[in-house]
Structure 1
Amino acid sequence: EVYVKKESNANGSCLLLESSSPPQSTTAATTASASST
């Protein structure tokens, strides 16, 4: 599902990368995505 989102959203790329990172990074990525939106 994450891959599909990456195709739909440019930010998905960051989200996918953060997905591999610790939860802390994931939270930051989510916040950044929300801000971009």
Structure 2
Amino acid sequence: MNAFDGLLITMTVATVIMTGLYVFTCTPAGKRWIRNL
């Protein structure tokens, strides 16, 4: 089960990261937030 749990966690983290990148790069609020950095 450890290998399966690790795969599941990896997939979840990858999905969250991809969603976050999409939101930050493709929405006006995200672009504004990046510019403020």
Do these two structures clear the TM 0.5 threshold for a shared fold by scoring above it? Answer: no
Name the one with the larger helix percent: 2
Q: TM-score if structure 2 supplies the norm length?
A: 0.42
Q: Identify the structure with bigger relative contact order (alpha carbons < 8 Å, sequence gap 6+).
A: 1
Bigger radius of gyration, 1 or 2? 2
Q: TM-score if structure 1 supplies the norm length?
A: 0.42
